[in-house]
Amino acid sequence: MNARLLLWFVLALAVVGVDQLTKQLMMGWLSYGQSWPVTPFFDLVLVFNPGAAFSFLADHDGWQRWFFIVLTSAVSVWLVHLIRRHAQERLMPTGLSLILGGAIGNLIDRVHFGAVIDFLYFHAGGHGFPAFNVADSAITVGVVLMLADQFGLASRASRVENEA
């Protein structure tokens, strides 16, 4: 395995580690449903999401756990393939590695708890954004980086840098 490829897998592993560490800390500090206000617009809250993003399919009778375990496993294998294919690039494998790490972090939760542990809750004016976690954040940043790469933002930035 070359050094660049190893770098991308270490990044994914770091995301998994930080994600799992923060979830364990929250489970040690908070009880289920407990909220701890940090700022007027941000709370730490311990919730379990058996569904997908924004609690999609959360209210079903349990089949979604296995569906998401199989889906996440398949997507993770595909992401490893894509990381290997783009290993010598910069932006695309960074995004893919963040997504892979986030996917594996949430997969671990689904296997162990039957749901994803969420704890970051932002709110204002009586409205709140659904609680999320480090893995979800890594997936979101990873998708943004992939889109930036696909729309050529990275190549434009490097061309401008090279012209300067």
- What the block records as the tokens of 87 is 């290993």
What is the 3 state secondary structure string of 16-37? HHHHHHHHHHHHHHCCCCCEEE
Q: Is residue 118 annotated as a catalytic residue, yes or no?
A: yes
Residue 152 Cα to chain centre, angstroms: 23
Given CA atoms 91, 120, 131, 18 in this order, what sign does their dihedral have? positive
Exposure string for 117-148, b = 16+ CB within 10 A, e = fewer: bbbbbebeeeeeeebbbbbbbbbebbeebbeb
- From 19, 43, 118, 149, the catalytic residue: 118
CA 116 – CA 54 distance, rounded (Å): 12
Give me the active site residues, please.
118, 136
